[in-house]
Structure 1
Amino acid sequence: MISIFKIFNPLNILWLAILLFITRIGFIATVPDKLEFIFVEPFARLLVPVSYEYAFSPGLNVFLAGVLVLGQALLLNYLVNFYNLLGRSTFLPALMYVTLSALFAPFMVLSAPLICNFLVIWMLFKLFSFYKSDDAKSTAYDLGMIVAIGSIIYLPYIYLFLSIWIALVIFKPFNWREWVSGILGYITIFFFFAVFYYLNNKLGSFYHIWAPLGTKFPNRININYYNYLVLIPVLLLLGLYFFKLQQNYYKSYVQVRKSFQLLFIIFLIGGLSFYVKTEFNLNHFLLCAVPAAVFFSYYFINANIRWMYESLYLLLLISIIYFQFNTF
């Protein structure tokens, strides 16, 4: 399987679609009778004045989620190849994204984090462009607006604003105007949002939007650890990725090294921002799937022992399907 996707062949899109179905077959067989879909935060509910939470049947919900995942996989694949992050064109990023997006049942339905992954990929296009940009003010402004839109869809997305400043530190010399431009972009969206609140006589509650940001980081999370055994091959592959990266780090171009630094920061921000939501939901960690897919692709493109990397991917695939049928 890995050998097929190492080659940049448009026919791999068909294989991706088939794999998308295979990795979801267990969930499709046991799909609940009702699936809720919320794509804006409660404070933005006025923007969608109709009942939509159960507008899609469970089957249609899973199908549309699969279509979005396939589209995001192809966009991510184009991004990685465009910036030559892996050294050659390949379909591995798309394969890894489709695989990781099936890790848990909440990943396989329509959700706000799934929609936000389009914004994550869009941001990465702009963030990576900092390296060759003489003047990044307009790009930083655009990025601030993207983060604001993401915050309206899914509030924890607000923390990805930090990735704008971190990218400026990594890719460019300090220029305070570029740092301020990101803030102005964010404020622009919420200025119009405040006007909308004012027109609906709700301006007094506008500041409550950011109240969840004051939530303390939890000391403990109650989870069933047996349901997370599927992460064992994921953690193993992450460890192998860091080992390969350490081996080849100084052999890579400067832009590639800095890009992987930024991806790691985004991975951490996406993972650690889960506590903002009052109810812990696994679908939040879809925000980590984009950088993680690039990490896994880096390992597989540089792995030399075929039986080993094919076996590791097969182990991951079998684990995903097995735990869809066995939730303990």
Structure 2
Amino acid sequence: MINQFRNLNPINLLLLFAYTFFMRMAIFADPPAQLNFEFLEPYTKFFIQIPVQNTFSPIANAFFAAIIIYVQAILFNRVVNNHGLLNKPGFLPALLYVTAAGLFMPFLVLSPTLICNFLLIWIMDKLLKVGKSPNALMIMFDIGMIIALGTLIYFPFIVMLVMIWFTLLLYRSFNGREWIAGLVGFLTIFFFVWVFYYWNDSLSMFYKIWLPLGNKFPSVFKINYNDYLVLVPVLVMMVLAMIQLRENFFRSFISTRKAFQMLFIMFLVAIVSVYTKPDFRLYHFLLCVPPGSVLLAYYFSNAKKRWFYESLFLILVFAIQYFLFV
């Protein structure tokens, strides 16, 4: 399986499509009685009304989620290959993206974070261009606007603003205009939101949008560890990827080193941003899938012992299926 996807063979597009639905067999075999899909925050619904809450049946919901994951995997694969993050171009990033996006049952249905991942992949592409651009002013402005759009869909996406400044710190010498361009882009979108609230005499509601930023990071989590045993093979792969990165770190291009540092921070930011959402949902961690999939793909693109990496991948796939069905 891994060897097949290491190459840019067009047949892999068909195999990936089949694999996407294979990883979602559990929800098609036993769909829930009802699935509600709301992909806009309450403060966005105040001025945008999209009646989709009960539009889809559970099967249709899972089907469209699978199609979205497939499309995102292709876009994600293109970004990774275009920026040369792996040894050679192939379909490994797409394969690992689909796999990571099937870890838990809440990942298999439509959710705000699933929609936001389109924006996150777009942001990844733009951030990876920062080091290659003579002027990052417009890139930062665009990223700020994209983050604002994501915040209208899912509030924790706002924490991705941190990635603007971390990326500039990593790639470029200090330029004050570049450092504020992203924030200006973000505020441009929310200025129009403010105007709408002002016209409707609802400024008090606008100010409440930002209250979650003052939340304290939860010190206690109620966790059923049996639900997360599927993460054990993922953690093993992540550790192996980190070891592989460490071994190749100084032999890699400087741009590649910086790219992986940036993606690792993005992975951590996606995890930490959960504190801004008091009604925590497991689907939040879909935001970790794009940066995390790059690290997983890096391990499999560099692994040497075929019997080991193929076996490890099969263990992960069977573990996912087992815990989804059980």
TM-score range, shorter chain: over 0.9
In structure 2, the residue matched to 1:78 is: 78
Greater mean alpha carbon deviation, residues 183-192 or residues 273-282? 273-282
Which amino acid in structure 2 is aligned with residue 220 of structure 1? V
2:99 and 2:189 map into 1 onto residues whose CA distance is: 34
Which amino acid in structure 2 is aligned with residue 265 of structure 1? I
2:37 and 2:48 map into 1 onto residues whose CA distance is: 13
1:298 and 1:49 map into 2 onto residues whose CA distance is: 42
Residue 273 (str. 1) matches residue 270 (str. 2): no
In structure 1, the residue matched to 2:32 is: 32
Residue 92 (str. 1) matches residue 95 (str. 2): no
Structure 2 gap segments, 5+ residues each: none
In structure 1, the residue matched to 2:251 is: 251
**Aligned length, in residue pairs:** 326
In structure 2, the residue matched to 1:105 is: 105
In structure 1, the residue matched to 2:62 is: 62
The CA deviation string for residues 63-94 of structure 1, in whole angstroms up to 9 with x for no partner, is 11111100110011000100010021110000
In structure 1, the residue matched to 2:323 is: 323
Structure 1 residues 121-132: aligned runs within 5 Å: 121-132=121-132
- Name the TM-score, length of structure 1 as normaliser: 0.98
SS in 1 for 2:210: helix
2:110 and 2:50 map into 1 onto residues whose CA distance is: 18
In structure 1, the residue matched to 2:148 is: 148
The CA deviation string for residues 227-258 of structure 1, in whole angstroms up to 9 with x for no partner, is 11100001000000001001111111111100
RMSD (CA atoms): 0.9
Which amino acid in structure 1 is aligned with residue 204 of structure 2? G
Which amino acid in structure 1 is aligned with residue 173 of structure 2? P
1:26 and 1:108 map into 2 onto residues whose CA distance is: 9
In structure 1, the residue matched to 2:204 is: 204
2:189 and 2:170 map into 1 onto residues whose CA distance is: 26
Residue 292 (str. 1) matches residue 264 (str. 2): no
On the 8 A contact 2:27/2:62 being kept in 1, the answer is no
Residues 1:50 and 1:123: Cα distance change in structure 2 (over 3 Å) = closer
Structure 1 stretches of 4+ with a deviation exceeding 2 A read 47-52
On the 8 A contact 2:6/2:91 being kept in 1, the answer is yes
In structure 1, the residue matched to 2:114 is: 114
In structure 1, the residue matched to 2:166 is: 166
In structure 1, the residue matched to 2:238 is: 238
Greater mean alpha carbon deviation, residues 45-54 or residues 2-11? 45-54
Structure 1 gap segments, 5+ residues each: none
Which amino acid in structure 1 is aligned with residue 255 of structure 2? Q
State the identity %: 47
2:245 and 2:295 map into 1 onto residues whose CA distance is: 9
2:204 and 2:242 map into 1 onto residues whose CA distance is: 49
2:49 and 2:232 map into 1 onto residues whose CA distance is: 43
Which amino acid in structure 2 is aligned with residue 31 of structure 1? P
In structure 1, the residue matched to 2:180 is: 180
Q: CA deviation at 1:50?
A: 4.7
SS in 2 for 1:47: coil
